[in-house]
C-alpha cells in the first residue's frame, strides 16, 4: 500500500498523494484543510526575522491594483466619461451616497468619502483574491490584516470623539451616560465602556476575518474532496462535491462584497457616533 506523500511545507494546502483516490485501495491519500492551509513559507527572508510571504505579496498587489484602477479612471477625467471612468464613478458614487451619506450625512460625511471608498475597495480586493486563479487565498482570512484595518478605524473614532466633545463629553459618549437610568447607571456605564472600547474593535476585525476564513476553508474542502473521490463509484460523489465547489465559489463572491460593505458601514456608524451630540 502506498503511503500518502504529505508535504512538510505547511503552506501546501492540497497536501496529498495525487495518484491515490477514494475506493482505489491505497488508503487515506489526502489531508483535510486546517490551520496549515493558512500558513505560508516566506518568499524572502525567514520567520525568525524579516520576511515576505504570499499574503503580503497579495496585499501589496491588491493595493497597487486599487490605486492603479482609480488612477487610470480619474487621472485624466473627462466631462463625457469613458468606460473605465464610468465604472470608477459608479463605484465611488455607490460608496459615497449609499454608505457615507446614508450613515453620516452629506455635510459631515463628505470629508470621509475618500477614506471609506479606499477601505471598501481595498477590503473587497483582499477578499477577491480567494477566487482568482493562482492567488486563491483571501488575505483577510489572516487576522492581522482585518485587525490592522480595524485599528485604523478605532484610532480615528476615538480621536474624533475627543476632538468633537472634549474629555468629559467623550467619556459620556463612550459610557452611554444617562442619568435617567438611576441606580443601574454605574453598571450600565461599565458595560457600555467595555463594549465600546474593547469589544467593538475586536468584533469589527473578527467579523471580516471569520467570514473569509470559513469561506476559504469550505472551498478548499470541496475542492480536495472532488479530486479525492474521483475514482470508480466515487465519481458520483466527486460530481456532487464539484458542484458544491462551484456553488460555494459563487456564494463566496457574494459574501466578499457584502463583508467589504459591512466593514465600511460599521466604520461610518462609528464615525457618525463620534460626531453626534450626546444627550
pLDDT in tens, 150-174: 999 999 999 999 999 999 988 888 8
C-beta separation of 138 from 215 below 8 A: yes
Please report the pLDDT score of residue 278 as a whole number: 59
Residue 23: pLDDT band with limits 50, 70, 90: low
Tell me which DSSP letter residue 99 carries. I
Distance (Å, whole) CA 55 – CA 18: 26
Greater pLDDT, 9 or 118: 118
pLDDT tops 50 at residue 1 = no
Residue 19: pLDDT band with limits 50, 70, 90: low
In this structure, the chain runs to a length of 279
Query: What are 242's three cell numbers?
Result: 464539484
pLDDT tops 80 at residue 24 = no
C-beta separation of 213 from 38 below 8 A: yes
Please report the pLDDT score of residue 238 as a whole number: 80
Among residues 47, 69, 80, the alpha carbon closest in space to that of 128 is found at 69
Please report the pLDDT score of residue 30 as a whole number: 56
Angle in degrees, CA 94, 219, 37, rounded to 5: 110
What's the mean pLDDT when you consider all of the chain? 85
pLDDT tops 70 at residue 25 = no
Residue 229: pLDDT band with limits 50, 70, 90: confident
Tell me which DSSP letter residue 233 carries. T
**Overall pTM surpassing 0.75 (yes/no):** yes
pLDDT tops 50 at residue 8 = no
HSE-up (13 A, CA, CB side) for residue 21? 15
Among residues 29, 36, 33, the alpha carbon closest in space to that of 9 is found at 36
Amino acid at each position: 500500500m502506498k503511503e500518502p506523500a504529505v508535504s512538510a511545507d505547511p503552506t501546501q494546502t492540497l497536501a496529498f498523494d495525487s495518484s491515490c483516490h477514494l475506493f482505489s485501495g491505497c488508503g487515506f491519500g489526502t489531508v483535510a484543510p486546517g490551520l496549515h492551509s493558512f500558513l505560508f513559507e516566506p518568499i524572502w527572508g525567514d520567520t525568525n526575522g524579516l520576511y515576505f510571504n504570499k499574503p503580503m505579496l497579495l496585499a501589496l498587489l491588491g493595493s497597487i491594483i486599487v490605486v492603479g484602477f482609480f488612477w487610470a479612471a480619474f487621472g485624466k477625467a473627462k466631462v463625457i466619461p469613458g468606460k473605465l471612468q464610468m465604472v470608477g464613478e459608479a463605484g465611488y458614487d455607490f460608496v459615497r451616497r449609499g454608505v457615507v451619506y446614508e450613515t453620516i450625512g452629506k455635510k459631515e460625511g463628505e470629508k470621509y468619502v475618500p477614506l471609506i471608498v479606499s477601505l471598501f475597495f481595498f477590503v473587497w480586493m483582499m477578499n477577491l483574491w480567494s477566487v482568482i486563479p493562482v492567488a486563491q487565498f483571501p488575505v483577510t482570512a489572516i487576522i492581522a490584516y482585518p485587525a490592522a484595518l480595524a485599528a485604523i478605524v478605532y484610532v480615528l473614532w476615538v480621536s474624533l470623539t475627543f476632538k468633537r466633545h472634549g474629555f468629559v463629553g467623550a467619556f459620556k459618549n463612550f459610557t452611554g451616560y444617562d442619568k435617567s437610568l438611576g441606580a443601574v447607571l454605574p453598571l450600565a456605564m461599565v458595560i457600555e465602556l467595555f463594549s465600546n472600547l474593547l469589544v467593538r474593535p475586536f468584533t469589527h476585525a473578527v467579523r471580516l476575518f471569520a467570514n473569509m476564513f470559513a469561506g476559504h476553508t469550505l472551498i478548499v474542502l470541496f475542492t480536495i474532496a472532488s479530486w479525492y473521490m474521483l475514482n470508480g463509484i466515487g465519481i458520483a460523489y466527486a460530481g456532487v462535491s464539484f458542484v458544491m465547489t462551484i456553488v460555494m465559489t459563487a456564494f463566496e463572491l457574494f459574501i466578499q462584497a457584502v463583508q467589504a460593505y459591512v466593514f465600511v458601514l460599521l466604520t461610518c456608524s462609528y464615525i457618525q457616533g463620534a460626531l453626534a451630540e450626546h444627550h
